[in-house]
Structure 1
Amino acid sequence: MTEPTTLGSDELWPLLRRHTQARIGLGRSGSALPTRHRLGLQAAHAAARDAVHSPFQPDLVAAALTGVPTVRVRSAAGDRLTYLQRPDLGRRLDPTDRAHLPAGPWDVVFVVADGLSSRAVHDHAAAVLRATAARLAGWRIAPVVLAEQARVALGDDIAHTMGAATAVVLVGERPGMSAADSLGAYLTYRPVPGVTTDADRNCLSNIRPPLGLSYEAAAAKLAALMARARELGLTGVALKDESDGPVPLEG
Structure 2
Amino acid sequence: MSGEDAEAIWRRLAALTPARIALGRVGAGLPTQEVLRFGLAHAQARDAVHTELDVDAVRGGIEGLGLSTVTVASAAPDRTTYLRRPDLGRRLDPDAAAALARAADGPVDLAIVVADGLSARAVHENAVPLLAALLPAVRGSGWSLGPVAVARQARVALGDAVGAALRARAVAVLIGERPGLSSPDSLGLYLTFGPRPGRSDAERNCLSNVRAAGLTLDLAAFKLHWLIGQALTRGLTGVGLKDESDRALEGPMVGAALGAPDRSS
TM-score, length-scaled by structure 2: 0.88
- 1:136-155 matches, cutoff 5 A: 136=138, 137=140, 138-155=142-159
Report the number of matched residues.
242
Match of 1:99 in 2: 98
Please report how far the alpha carbon of residue 180 of structure 1 lies from its aligned counterpart in structure 2 after TM superposition: 0.3
Amino acid at match of 2:190: Y
Q: 1:7 to 1:243 in 2, by over 3 A?
A: farther
Alignment of 1:126-205 (within 5 A): 126-136=128-138, 137=140, 138-194=142-198, 196-205=199-208
Residue 3 of structure 1: aligned partner: none
C-alpha displacement of 1:7: 6.7
1:24 to 2:21 alignment: yes
- Structure 2 residue 43 is matched with structure 1 residue 46: yes
Check if 1:14 corresponds to 2:34. Answer: no
Deviations 1:198-238 (A, max 9, x none): 000000001101x1111110000000010001111000000
How far apart in 1 are the matches of 2:168 and 2:4?
57
**Partner of 1:213: helix, strand, or coil?**
coil
CA distance in 1, matches of 2:80, 2:6: 46
Q: Partners of 1:243 and 1:71 in 2: how far apart?
A: 31
Matches within 5 A, 1:38-77: 38-65=35-62, 66=64, 67-77=66-76
* Aligned residue type for 1:88: D
Q: CA RMSD in A?
A: 1.8
SS at 2:223's partner residue?
helix
Q: CA deviation at 1:62?
A: 1.7
- Name the SS of the counterpart of 2:231 in structure 1: helix
Amino acid at match of 1:119: R
User: What SS is found at the alignment partner of 1:134?
Assistant: helix
Unaligned segments of structure 1, at least 5 residues:
1-5
Local SS of the residue matching 2:137: coil
**How many Å separate the matches in 2 of 1:105 and 1:93?**
20
Q: Structure 2 counterpart of 1:82, which letter?
A: T
Gap change, CA 1:244 and 1:96, over 3 Å in 2: closer
Deviation at 1:63, TM superposition (A): 2.2
Distance (Å, rounded) in 1 between the aligned partners of 2:116 and 2:217: 18
Residue matched to 1:116: 118
Give percent identity, aligned residues only.
53
